[in-house]
A and B are shown apart, each in its own frame.
Chain A
């Protein structure tokens, strides 16, 4: 297909650690191809040259945690033809969503010497709670191959190969033996969204669920099995992440 002008790409940061944006710079082998295929118009992490909007594609990292964020995301949406959220913060609220189960004011006074200067929201929320999101890439951080895949798919107007099944299927396809069954190592793979390529189990470490829940996760059943493996109740509650503990009153 003939492309007249290169599509314009923008990368935006909200509350996050920048790790997912770095995945784009981490594309090393593919980076020149990315730069060749799109005009990187707005990517402060990589360049101070900022091209004005609108943009064909926006990659949004981070969650919404401040009143300023909550306004700015609407401007990003207005400037973007296609908006993809990248990473656990943008798709689920991230680690900072731990505040959602507590009173954020107690954290602010514990962390900052002058809490009166801190303007923050009581909850950390995913981008999709605020604006329409066209597609989400999971992970903490995202998988760079999935990022290149989604860019390739958009550029070539095809369906991206992003699956929402379990990590287990990725383990089996790559020949990694189940850690839970063979060694009794607790693993969140059966309820976790695929996409990382099952990295942790291939290094003999249980999946800790950084891609978030897969389609139709049965965390009750996994919790029962983790109990059999000797995992304590508080650890199971933590592993289940966004499921609040009864005495924390979400």
Chain B
């Protein structure tokens, strides 16, 4: 995690030195996780060598569509985000919280003893970095503070990579989360290819990041290299596939629960829950208790949950949100609107995964634009000032 010091350092190193960087991280006891090509897409998995990175791979993304493409160069990070987000490694899909054994006096509880491993995330995109910071606000502090998340997070080193291309479903510029990593990383890299030269411009934010950078052969960036790095992110910003008008967006959503657009999108929404599973900030879980047949052993397990299931809103007598309309409205209104009330920021970072991986091809940017129709900003009467809740 980033330290509190003001240690900033920048450097450039040639692309083949990326292996030295991974080695330096690994030698400090970190397991390296990063993007790899698998299942005809890009997933996050363990890495030991830069040869396992998606070299020369690109990705075409659109509504309900992800296709791998190949590039003429040997770029390591010239795609945007893959099928999974880093929450898989910070807020796991399934987690055993504790187990219990029956004994003469009742039950003996065994806490989950697994020691947190040190993990390094390599290739974290600026939007994803902001998603991790958003999860931090939810799960590190306040009423929903989570010890499992904290132990993972405190043992995580982040090597961010600025975006040099934008995906077809990206809208980070709208959400103010990219395409350049601004803070929250240990190291941030910009990958630059100029003719035959392939190199990285690096910035260290934490002491550990600076120490790692110091340990590999590097040079002080020249003015030209700094400018080249800026051009890389400017190019990505210029390619941004989609956008969201975020002006008074919280009020727009809160004021429009009866907008006819909700009925239209409900005809397409399959309430399958894919959007929430791929979203890097959706954090909801459910708890299930499991016993063996003898009843001698029991486990208390936590699983990713989704506000698109009926069980999610089930209370005595039935599910509160039984229609697809009410479930989609709940998700979108929370993500872009009432997240501000709870956590003082938007729940969306503009990674575009919910658009790419929605099997019905629903586009949140399109839905939000449609909700704004007939609701120009500033023309509606003001509503009560929101009060932040649920954060300490």
Interface residues of A (CB under 8 A from B): 1, 30, 33-34, 36-37, 148-149, 151-153, 155-156, 158-159, 161, 163-166, 168-169, 172-178, 180-184, 187, 189-191, 204, 215-218, 220-222, 224-225, 228
Contacts and interface: CB of A to CB of B under 8 A. Distances in A.
B324 to A, nearest CB: 6
B270 A218 contact: yes
11 contacts: A37-B293, A166-B272, A168-B273, A169-B273, A173-B277, A174-B93, A177-B84, A178-B359, A183-B40, A215-B310, A224-B268
A216 B319 CA distance: 12
A61 B289 CA distance: 27
Nearest to A161: B288
Contacts, number: 142
A164 B309 CA distance: 8
Nearest to A159: B289
B83 A190 contact: no
Contacts of B93: 172-175
Contacts of A172: 93, 273-274, 277-278, 304
Interface centre among B41, B269, B270 (most CB of A within 10 A): B270
A156 B290 CA distance: 10
Contact of B270 (A161, A166, A174, A228): A166
Contacts of A187: 359
B88 interface: yes
Interface centre among B272, B288, B289 (most CB of A within 10 A): B272
Interface string B278-295: 100000000011111111
Contacts of B295: 1, 152, 155-156
Given A163-B311, A168-B274, A181-B357, A175 B84 contact: yes
A152 B270 contact: no
Contacts of B65: 181, 184
Contact of B64 (A153, A180, A204, A220): A180
B361 interface: yes
Given A33-B293, A164-B311, A165-B306, A182 B41 contact: yes
Contacts of A159: 289
Contacts of B84: 175, 177
Contacts of B64: 180-181, 225, 228
Contacts of A225: 64, 359-361
Interface centre among A34, A149, A225 (most CB of B within 10 A): A225
Contact of B304 (A169, A178, A181, A218): A169
Contacts of A148: 293
B291 A218 contact: no
Contact of B40 (A174, A177, A189): A177
Nearest to B64: A181
B313 to A, nearest CB: 12
Nearest to A33: B293
A221 B357 CA distance: 15
B66 interface: yes
A222 B270 CA distance: 7
B324 A152 contact: no
A245 to B, nearest CB: 22
B270 A178 contact: no
A228 B65 CA distance: 11
A54 B277 CA distance: 46
B316 to A, nearest CB: 14
A129 to B, nearest CB: 23
